[in-house]
Chain A
Amino acid sequence: MDYEVRVEGLDFSYGSKSILKDINLSMKTGSFISIIGPNGSGKSTFLRNLSRYLKPQKGIIMLGNDDIRKLSQKEISKKVSVVPQNILMEFDYKVKDMVLMGRYPYVKRMKGETAEDIKIAERSMKYTNTLEFSNRHFSELSGGEKQRVILAQALAQQPRVLLMDEPISHLDLQYQVEILDLVKKMTLEEGLTSIAVLHDLNMASAYSDYIIMLKEGKVFCKGEPKEVLTVENIAQTFNTNVSISKNPITGKPYVYPISTISKKKRNFRVHIICGGGTGVKLIQELAASGFDISTGVLNIGDSDWAISKEYELDVAEETPFMDISQQAYDKNLELALAAKALVLLPIYFSRANIKNIKLLMDDRLDDKTIYILENGSFAQRDYTNGEAMSIYNMLIEKPNVIQIKEGQLKEILVKADEKDE
């Protein structure tokens, strides 16, 4: 495997304050890598170690086959470019002059910039779409244009590694996308290894090949976005509850933060009978409101099953395409008995899962409120030749059964919980 950047046993501390502890990483050539983690987790410090702005107390950093301790600053600058959050210029320069500054490590003092240097600077400007305003002054540009100029300057260094410290956090959304698109393109076409500290987890998810998650100066986990961006990992590093779904366009994880205002834990358990994705929204909603949730019976691999696992819920589960076994049924009943309220979502019924509705007829559940979420006619969801339908008809006659419409449930349950207290 071709690794551009390798870090072994890296320790860094400011005085006696230890910032980075035993970092070991390998970063593949031509990949876009994001570093995420809460404030103070050592992201920027790590980047500054990679660029040798800071010198680690222990450990080795290899750029390709070179140990960076053995390289001069100019030699490092030929291999590594750094893009900061933004650049504040006290004195103004023309765009082309700023891009040409990126050629500094190659320029000989006596000779000055050669035609070759100017050609490379022009190519960098063309690549970043800054050539058209190369004669304008930096201070006249918009935030996005400025950042593109900085990227052109970085590119003029002809680096193999591009380090970025929150390159988009000062920009409006359209520029954030523009800059990351450009970096991604550079990464793929020029075979760069791009390493970015990003604040926005969803941007990190959308653009990264790999994500490194830091917590308190250590690598908490690393891998592809879907391996790193999980409810559990984010809860442990950022101390924040989030809900995660798939971005419908990219298929990458999409992180929704959950407000802590509603984080109050309720002593109220809801058992949800769902399947086929009917439960995703409700589980997220109720979990966010602090309800204790269980689900069943769900086929392993079903999207409701997946989200239940992500939220670490109690689940009664069954192998896909199999009829619900006695064992799964018993587990489902056990969970239902433990709950204060039961919810039946508008799922399709077949021979395989008919036990899910039969369960609700159990006498032992008579003291619990059963909410049936209605969505269109039940008959259309019945593939059991009317057997499920007849159970359904008996069920809705029961005094403890309440039929509700979509969207009402959370409010009703919150009221029920408050009345309970």
Chain B
Amino acid sequence: MNKKNIKRFISINLLILFFAICFFISVGIGAVDIPLGEIVKIIFLGENTDNRVILMDIRLPRVLIAAVLGAGLSAVGGVMQGIFKNPLVDSYTLGMSSGAAFGAVISIVTGIGVFGYATTGTFAFLGAVSTLFFVYYLSKTKNRVSINSLLLSGVAVSYFLSSVISFMMMLFNNKIEHIVFWTMGSLSSSTWQKFIFSTCLVIPGVLLLNFFARELNIMSLGEESAHYIGVDVERLKYMLLAICSLIVGAVVSTGGTIGFLGLVAPHIVRLIWGSDYRRLIPYSAIIGASILMLSDTLGRVIIQPAEIPVGVMTSVLGGPFFVFLLRKQKSKGA
């Protein structure tokens, strides 16, 4: 093994260790604290102790969903930053998250949502995809999509949808609690069914994104240069955005809109390991999963017995980091 491989081996192990620590903290802490030994006994040895029901039916699905959603959002954020060559981009910027929330809200207020989680989820996904295509269509001129116009139309559409959601909250104030869940992002109603649904979409999506790491690296040279090196830029953007909206749809329909994580996690990876997408996507996924598990746990325990929605937690934690990035970019003279 050469020096480079040793370094990579250590990095991966450290990441897995970090993930494991976050996992056990998140599973263990709550209204009832479960010691590590008991967790191991219940999960891995299948023993039947006092806290088995709390752990297996309530806490474990919630923590695992946080991990899956965190991984999905972070991988998507990193990929979108690469596509748009812009460090301040995530699934919010193109209106995908607002579109998904909008779709979910529609299903709630029209009552279609009563058929269960799957319908709301489908609506969220449709919302994400159709918003993305609408934004894409808006910014298309002469068969090319300029990144600036894409970002601008994304932000515009995103604001528009947010205000429509607010308006709906006013009209249907009997369903306000449901809607708030979507707009703030919460994992409080996690179930195994939701875990399976989100995992089936998010994890293959992230693996698929990883497949395009080499192209994403080349995209950092700029679209024109990437074209000259042989990348089919338009097709690449199209495919990556489709995969991203699938992931975002699954995430939003499971946990509502969770901000800042997709923006921050890839930057943490960049600061430590550099920009190479072959590492960036998997590492961001692991870091993002860990952060979301921790954020949700913090939200659960800070003001017990009340809960702070996870979307609020990530924004509170991620906001300062975002400002830090902005300042760093300013000092770079960009």
Footprint of B on A, CB under 8 Å? 14-15, 51, 53, 73-74, 76-78, 80-82, 84, 87-94, 97-98, 101-102, 104-105, 107, 109, 153, 157
Are B218 and A87 neighbours in the complex by a CB distance under 8 Å?
A: no
**Alpha-carbon distance A77/B115, docked complex (angstroms):** 53
Interface segment out of the listed B44-52, B148-156, B159-167, B268-276: B268-276
Interface centre among A15, A73, A98 (most CB of B within 10 A): A73
Partner of B230 from A89, A91, A93, A104 at Cβ < 8 Å: A104
Residue B146 CB within 8 A of the other chain: no
* Neighbouring B residues of A88 by C-beta, 8 Å: 222
Interface centre among B142, B218, B228 (most CB of A within 10 A): B228
Chain B: minimal CB distance from A344 (Å): 60
Are A53 and B224 neighbours in the complex by a CB distance under 8 Å?
A: yes
* Neighbouring A residues of B142 by C-beta, 8 Å: 14-15
User: Mind listing 11 A-B residue pairs with CB under 8 Å?
Assistant: A51-B228, A80-B228, A82-B228, A84-B224, A89-B220, A90-B86, A90-B87, A101-B218, A105-B230, A109-B211, A109-B214
Are A91 and B82 neighbours in the complex by a CB distance under 8 Å?
A: yes
**Alpha-carbon distance A74/B231, docked complex (angstroms):** 7
Residue B227 CB within 8 A of the other chain: yes
**Alpha-carbon distance A15/B221, docked complex (angstroms):** 28
Q: Interface range on chain B: under 10, 10 to 19, 20 to 34, or 35 or more?
A: 20 to 34
Are A76 and B230 neighbours in the complex by a CB distance under 8 Å?
A: yes
Residue B237 CB within 8 A of the other chain: no
- Assuming A92-B275, A104-B215, what are 8 further A-B pairs, CB within 8 angstroms? A53-B224, A53-B227, A80-B228, A82-B225, A91-B81, A92-B274, A93-B276, A98-B221
Chain A: minimal CB distance from B44 (Å): 35
**Alpha-carbon distance A104/B270, docked complex (angstroms):** 23
Residue B229 CB within 8 A of the other chain: yes
**Binary contact track B241-284/A, C-beta < 8 Å → 1, others 0:** 00000000000000000000000000000100011100000000
Residue B232 CB within 8 A of the other chain: yes
**Alpha-carbon distance A24/B227, docked complex (angstroms):** 25
* Neighbouring B residues of A78 by C-beta, 8 Å: 230
Footprint of A on B, CB under 8 Å? 81-82, 85-87, 142, 211, 214-215, 217-218, 220-222, 224-225, 227-232, 270, 274-276
Are A73 and B221 neighbours in the complex by a CB distance under 8 Å?
A: no
Given contacts A87-B222, A88-B222, A109-B211, contact A93 B228 (CB under 8 A): no
* Neighbouring B residues of A74 by C-beta, 8 Å: 230
Are A87 and B228 neighbours in the complex by a CB distance under 8 Å?
A: no
Chain B: minimal CB distance from A89 (Å): 6
* Count, A-B residue pairs, CB within 8 A: 69
**Alpha-carbon distance A282/B124, docked complex (angstroms):** 81
Q: Closest A residue to B212 by CB, please name it.
A: A109
**Alpha-carbon distance A14/B141, docked complex (angstroms):** 12
**Alpha-carbon distance A71/B279, docked complex (angstroms):** 33
Chain A: minimal CB distance from B217 (Å): 6
* Neighbouring B residues of A157 by C-beta, 8 Å: 229
Interface centre among B82, B86, B87, B230 (most CB of A within 10 A): B230
Are A77 and B230 neighbours in the complex by a CB distance under 8 Å?
A: yes
Are A73 and B232 neighbours in the complex by a CB distance under 8 Å?
A: yes
Partner of B221 from A14, A76, A101 at Cβ < 8 Å: A101
* Neighbouring B residues of A51 by C-beta, 8 Å: 228
Given contacts A91-B82, A91-B87, A92-B275, contact A105 B229 (CB under 8 A): yes
Are A90 and B85 neighbours in the complex by a CB distance under 8 Å?
A: yes
* Neighbouring B residues of A92 by C-beta, 8 Å: 274-275
Are A91 and B222 neighbours in the complex by a CB distance under 8 Å?
A: no
Are B229 and A102 neighbours in the complex by a CB distance under 8 Å?
A: yes
* Neighbouring B residues of A80 by C-beta, 8 Å: 228
Lowest 10 A-B CB distances belong to which pairs? Answer: A77-B230, A105-B230, A91-B275, A82-B228, A74-B230, A90-B85, A104-B229, A91-B220, A101-B218, A104-B230
Q: Closest B residue to A110 by CB, please name it.
A: B211
Chain A: minimal CB distance from B106 (Å): 36
**Alpha-carbon distance A87/B226, docked complex (angstroms):** 11
Chain B: minimal CB distance from A262 (Å): 40
* Neighbouring B residues of A107 by C-beta, 8 Å: 214
Q: Closest B residue to A74 by CB, please name it.
A: B230
* Neighbouring A residues of B229 by C-beta, 8 Å: 77, 101-102, 104-105, 153, 157
**Alpha-carbon distance A361/B30, docked complex (angstroms):** 117
Are A90 and B220 neighbours in the complex by a CB distance under 8 Å?
A: yes
Partner of B227 from A73, A90, A91, A109 at Cβ < 8 Å: A73
Chain B: minimal CB distance from A86 (Å): 10
Interface centre among A77, A90, A157 (most CB of B within 10 A): A90
Given contacts A76-B230, A91-B270, A94-B274, contact A84 B217 (CB under 8 A): no
**Alpha-carbon distance A73/B229, docked complex (angstroms):** 8
Q: Closest B residue to A94 by CB, please name it.
A: B274
* Neighbouring A residues of B220 by C-beta, 8 Å: 89-91, 93
Chain A: minimal CB distance from B325 (Å): 12
* Neighbouring A residues of B214 by C-beta, 8 Å: 104, 107, 109
Q: Closest A residue to B233 by CB, please name it.
A: A73
* Neighbouring B residues of A77 by C-beta, 8 Å: 228-230
Partner of B217 from A53, A90, A93 at Cβ < 8 Å: A93
**Alpha-carbon distance A102/B275, docked complex (angstroms):** 17
